[in-house]
């Protein structure tokens, strides 16, 4: 695996952890208002808002479920695998 592929996979892994941290912070409403919560929101909201426009939160009793996060993560993993596969094919042919 080339250095470029390693860097790109590392960036995808780092963003995955940021997405996961955003979900965990979302379970505690007061944490969203901290500096960390706002930083995570600034990093992940542009990506997640693509799905939030189409998939509205589901209200179950007094709980609101943001299903767009789950769809966004699933698409993220598909994109990650596609980019990794294309990069590997391109670098093998060099």
Q: Each residue of 61-92: pLDDT tens digit?
A: 988 888 899 999 999 999 999 998 998 888 87
pTM of the model: 0.85
Residue 38 has pLDDT above 80, yes or no: yes
Name the H helices within the chain: 3-26, 29-32, 35-52, 67-92
The CB-side HSE value for 16 (13 A sphere, CA atoms) comes to 15
Six-digit token string for 62: 């007094």
CB of 32 closer than 8 Å to CB of 26: yes
Q: What is the mean pLDDT of the chain?
A: 91
Residue 94: the pLDDT is 65
């Amino acid at each position: 695996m080339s250095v470029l592929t390693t860097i790109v996979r590392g960036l995808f892994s780092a963003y995955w952890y940021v997405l996961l941290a955003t979900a965990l912070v979302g379970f505690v409403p007061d944490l969203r208002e901290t500096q960390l919560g706002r930083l995570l929101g600034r990093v992940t909201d542009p990506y997640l808002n693509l799905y939030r426009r189409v998939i509205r939160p589901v209200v179950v009793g007094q709980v609101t479920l943001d299903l767009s996060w789950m769809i966004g993560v699933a698409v993220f993993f598909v994109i990650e695998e596609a980019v990794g596969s294309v990069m590997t094919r391109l670098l093998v042919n060099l």
